[in-house]
Amino acid sequence: MGIINENVDKVDIRVKQKKKDLIDYFIREREGSNIKNREVFSLEYIPKEIYHREDYIFWLLEKMGNIDRFRNNLNIWGPVGCGKTLVVKYSISHLQDMWKDLNITAKIVYVNCNEYSTSSSVLYKIITSLGGEVAERGLRLGTYIAHLKEIIEDLTALVICLDEVDFLITRRRNKKKGYEEVLYSFGEINKINLICISNIPKWNQFLDDRIRSRLQLENKNFAAYSESETRDIILQRIELGLKDSKIFSDKHIDYIVKTILINKTDIRDAIRYLQIIVDYLDKNEVEVSKHILNKCYNILIEEELFSTINSLSIAHKILIWIISSLAIKKKKITSNLINTRWNELASNDKFEYKEYIKPIGVRQIQRHINTLTELYQLLSSNTASLGRYGKENVITPEFDAELVHDHYKLDDRINSSI
């Protein structure tokens, strides 16, 4: 291999080819495509009309509209994909309008605690959203809080939306419980009102009593969408996004909605499924049929699986590769067997990382298996009895082993050499 990795060589040729492909694609999109507005099929899109969430929007406007008179800390919870984030983001501009009409000098900031998951980064995000300047990390929490108080001096109220607030508590690096200091301070500053949002009903039970009683969170449980509500939301996207929405019959829509509700539960999957279908129809210039819908469902599942697998560490990828090859050979998969296969890699001439493989032992393998089972949900394990020889843990992949095995051939890091 030369000094420059062959993967970065010939960029120019690839860019030219890509440009040509894109032009073809754009021409079709401008002329022949049935897609009117592609954005509508993305998860970030906020429709002007939000169906089946009126009550929740009214509730939020009522609670937060008169913000200089009544202080409110709200706690919104409900299953994934029931429109919590959407309702809050949608209501932000309406609240700002109301405050303007009522001559209230209030501001609202939105923080996603999955993105800003340490106490200082949450404060950093709030302060900078309000126009302040502060270092993202390294300062004491008290310094950030003092800075925040200063910035909001001229305001009558500040509303802080803490979306996915449970991340603040569950992230390991927050073990020192800096979030308790932050939430307590929010409770102490009279001008601050919170909108906490979470998928976990009782995330706040992990808080100190002192903080809970200081915050006095008012709970609101958002319900999951029913079948007919999901249908309306999907239909809305079809109508907003396509020139001709009639390409989908009632039966097709029914199939899309029920397939997702039964197999996946989350409306996010329904929107992603729709996006895959619409793209597929457009690229292949075919009509909707049950066969195509099934094909697209498989694409959805594969996409999800591969995005999980591609994000794994090399060690985990190697383990998944070992497990998928054992599953193809219909072996009974145990930590011992995986350990043996791992050790054999050290003398496998075809394995690119051969010389770096060290024996890691069954316990370490078991730890990796636990992570792949619990965190990534790629495996499941059952304890089987060996009679008087005790018990053993039998591992089953929760994915199509052949599919994954084939996929590895495309992976540069693991490479086709294993």
Ligand X SMILES: Nc1ncnc2c1ncn2[C@@H]1O[C@H](COP(=O)(O)OP(=O)(O)O)[C@@H](O)[C@H]1O
**Residue 356 interface partner, choices Mg ion, ligand X, none, CB cut-off 5-8 Å depending on type:** none
**Residue 123 interface partner, choices ligand X, Mg ion, none, CB cut-off 5-8 Å depending on type:** none
Q: Which is nearer to Mg ion, 65 or 78 (CB)?
A: 78
**Residue 53 interface partner, choices ligand X, Mg ion, none, CB cut-off 5-8 Å depending on type:** ligand X
Contact call for residues 275 and 42 (beta carbons, < 8 A): yes
Task: Residue 203: name the closest of 241, 170, 228, 243 by CA.
Answer: 170
Task: Residue 151: name the closest of 132, 135, 128 by CA.
Answer: 132
The footprint of Mg ion on residues 85-144 (CB under 5 A) is 85
Contact call for residues 78 and 222 (beta carbons, < 8 A): yes
Contact call for residues 47 and 77 (beta carbons, < 8 A): no
CB of 170 to Mg ion, least distance (A): 16
Regarding 198 and contact with Mg ion (CB under 5 A), the answer is no
Element (DSSP H or E) covering residue 211: helix 209-215
Q: Which is nearer to ligand X, 188 or 239 (CB)?
A: 239
Q: Which is nearer to Mg ion, 33 or 198 (CB)?
A: 198
**Residue 51 interface partner, choices ligand X, Mg ion, none, CB cut-off 5-8 Å depending on type:** ligand X
**Residue 50 interface partner, choices ligand X, Mg ion, none, CB cut-off 5-8 Å depending on type:** ligand X
CB of 201 to ligand X, least distance (A): 13
Q: Which is nearer to Mg ion, 85 or 339 (CB)?
A: 85
Regarding 335 and contact with Mg ion (CB under 5 A), the answer is no
CB of 84 to Mg ion, least distance (A): 5
CB of 109 to ligand X, least distance (A): 17
Q: Which is nearer to Mg ion, 84 or 341 (CB)?
A: 84
Rg of the chain taking only CA atoms, in angstroms: 26
Three-class SS of residue 136?
Answer: coil
Q: What is the separation of C-alpha 138 from the centre of its chain, rounded to a whole number of angstroms?
A: 28
Element (DSSP H or E) covering residue 403: helix 401-407
Segments of 103-257 assigned E as strands: 106-112, 157-163, 192-198, 218-221
Cα angle, residue 60 at apex, residues 102 and 89 outer, rounded to 5°: 95
Q: How many residues can be counted in the chain?
A: 418
Element (DSSP H or E) covering residue 321: helix 314-328
Q: Any bridge partners for residue 193, and if so which?
A: 159
CB of 36 to ligand X, least distance (A): 17
Q: Which is nearer to Mg ion, 85 or 91 (CB)?
A: 85
Tokens of residue 158, six digits: 């500040």
Please count the other Cβ atoms lying within 10 Å of the Cβ belonging to residue 131: 8
**Residue 410 interface partner, choices Mg ion, ligand X, none, CB cut-off 5-8 Å depending on type:** none
CB of 168 to Mg ion, least distance (A): 14
CB of 86 to Mg ion, least distance (A): 8
Q: Which is nearer to Mg ion, 161 or 404 (CB)?
A: 161
Task: Residue 262: name the closest of 227, 238, 232 by CA.
Answer: 227
Total residues interacting with Mg ion, rule: CB under 5 A: 2
- Applying CB under 6 A, which residues contact ligand X? 43, 47, 50-53, 80-86, 233, 267-268, 271
Contact call for residues 45 and 231 (beta carbons, < 8 A): no
The footprint of Mg ion on residues 49-88 (CB under 5 A) is 84-85
Q: Which is nearer to ligand X, 43 or 135 (CB)?
A: 43
CB of 110 to Mg ion, least distance (A): 11
Tokens of residue 141, six digits: 């929490």
CB of 179 to ligand X, least distance (A): 20
**Residue 86 interface partner, choices Mg ion, ligand X, none, CB cut-off 5-8 Å depending on type:** ligand X
Element (DSSP H or E) covering residue 381: strand 379-385
Element (DSSP H or E) covering residue 74: strand 74-77
Q: Which is nearer to Mg ion, 85 or 118 (CB)?
A: 85
What is the binding site for Mg ion (CB under 5 A)? Answer: 84-85
